Amino acid sequence: MDLKDCKKMGYHMHYEGESADPMLFVKIEAVNALPKWTWWVSEYDEKTGDCYGIAKGLELEAGYFNIREIFQTPGLIVLQDKNYAPETFSQLLNREKNN
């Protein structure tokens, strides 16, 4: 699934509303950054590029980020993980905690 698929399927900003355990639908990685940065997207606004989800760089944290800014960062190679299977926040956090 990619960001356009998120829009088609209705995973727009505030789609998850007040869900205690939102789904993460897309995984994006900056493969040449040290440390490697990864973003998991739960909500996406096609007009602004704003997303809500989880980011992992120096720390793992939930919050808002702009996907366009990430892709437009000079020198940063950003790829979408096409094999990523959607999971909930809690599933991701448990998996990352064990790594």
| DSSP conformational letter for 82 | T
In a domain, 90, yes or no: no
In a domain, 94, yes or no: no
In a domain, 11, yes or no: yes
In a domain, 55, yes or no: yes
For 65, the token pair is 């980020």
Owning domain of residue 29? 3-82
In a domain, 91, yes or no: no
Q: Residue 43 in contact with residue 12, Cβ under 8 Å?
A: yes
pLDDT mean by block of 10 residues, the chain; 99 residues: 52 58 90 92 87 92 92 91 92 88
| Residues 6+ away with beta carbon under 8 Å from 49 | 66, 67, 68, 69
Q: Which helix (H) or strand (E) holds 66?
A: strand 60-66
In a domain, 95, yes or no: no
Provide the whole-model pTM. Answer: 0.82
In a domain, 33, yes or no: yes
| Total count of domains within the chain | 1
